[in-house]
Copies of this chain bind each other. A is one copy, B any other.
Amino acid sequence: MVVKCKRCGVNNAEIYLAHSNLRLCPDCFMLLTERKVKHAVETYKMISKDDNIGIAVSGGKDSSSLAYILSKSFEKIPITLIHIDLGIPNYSQHCLEKVKELSKIIDRELVVYSLEKELGFKIPDFKATIYGKKMCSACGAIKRYLFNKITYDLGLTKIATGHNLDDTVEALFNSYVEGNVGALVRLRPFLPKTHPKMMPKIKPLIGLTDMECLIYAEYRNLPIRSLGCQFSESSRTIRRKRLLNLLAENMPNFKHTFISSHFRRLLPCLETALKDHETKIYECPNCGMPTSLEGVPCHFCKIVSIVLEKKDKHASEAG
């Protein structure tokens, strides 16, 4: 039996969104997805008319959909795509091709930062270090630092990332189970400036599931990577997302209710409680960027020095 789209009533429905019990045709799905992003941007006042936005793009479904939707919905806002070339064999070349294509399609400038050219190492170099068993954590820390620094160096006003609903639910769930109140308070759709060199961060996809982002990217025929990173395949994050999807299958509203309860009810309480304990921000004596540590190199400088030291040692042993 052919089911018509619940919104237009004309085209055949192709997608079923269990959380809102909607069957939609591709056109209406794309329209509603874009509206959800605009709605999040407006609700959390993420973008103002004099902004100059950097978008962190990886070649994945989320950041590509983000770049496409923001570029289309906020035509007059200057947007720069920022991509970090991680130096992972095959994978990184493949991702770079996709973001170059994306940049052409949406006609926005792309800035590529190569770890190897700029810093002299590649992500696989972490394999031989103490970060060998937590590559994703080292890689994440490096990307977070660099996206902030590049945005600052380019003179942009904000950095937008492709964190979606599933990413946020997974991170929230994790922080609640572990009782990490600090992380719960930092995890927000719009993180304002807390230091002159700490750029405001926005997450316009916070209302879209993994599946919505993927379907959107496919319907729009956006260039997205088909290779997975060889280091992240069995990561805890992915396993936990699978478990949370099991919950959502049985409680279709679970993710949306959880997120909305957190932001509306719990976060204000946690903020009130932490009001007097605001973490101080210092400047790294090495790179000058903001850090929570006083008088010692920041986390980024520390892990970069570890990976470079190991590389030098290998090189001198080989030589």
Residues of A within 8 A of B (CB): 176-181, 239-240, 243, 246-247, 250-251, 254, 257-258, 260-262, 264-266, 268-270, 272-274
Contact = CB atoms under 8 A, between A and B. Distances in A.
A268 B273 contact: yes
A181 B250 contact: no
A21 to B, nearest CB: 19
Chief secondary structure at chain A's binding surface: helix
A258 B178 CA distance: 6
A258 B177 contact: yes
Given A261-B176, A265-B179, A269-B270, A243 B247 contact: yes
A132 to B, nearest CB: 24
A266 B254 CA distance: 21
Q: Which 10 A-B pairs have the closest CB atoms?
A: A179-B261, A179-B265, A269-B273, A272-B273, A177-B258, A273-B273, A269-B270, A243-B247, A181-B265, A243-B250
Contact of A273 (B178, B258, B270): B270
Contacts of A181: 265-266, 269
B179 A260 contact: yes
Contacts of A257: 177-178
Count of chain copies: 2
7 contacts: A176-B258, A176-B266, A179-B266, A181-B269, A239-B250, A243-B247, A247-B247
Nearest to A270: B269
A166 B269 CA distance: 26
A270 B257 CA distance: 19
Nearest to A185: B269
Nearest to A272: B273
B261 A178 contact: yes
Contacts of A179: 260-262, 264-266
A176 B176 CA distance: 9
A254 B176 contact: no
A274 B273 CA distance: 9
Nearest to A236: B251
A26 to B, nearest CB: 32
Contacts of A265: 179-181
Contacts of A178: 257, 261
Given A176-B258, A243-B247, A272-B273, 14 more contacts: A177-B257, A177-B258, A177-B261, A178-B257, A179-B262, A180-B265, A181-B265, A181-B266, A181-B269, A246-B246, A246-B247, A266-B270, A269-B270, A269-B273
Contacts of A176: 176, 258, 261, 266
A184 to B, nearest CB: 8
Contacts of A260: 179
Contacts of A250: 239, 243
Nearest to A274: B269
Nearest to A269: B273
A251 B268 CA distance: 29
A179 to B, nearest CB: 3
A199 B270 CA distance: 30
A269 B277 CA distance: 12
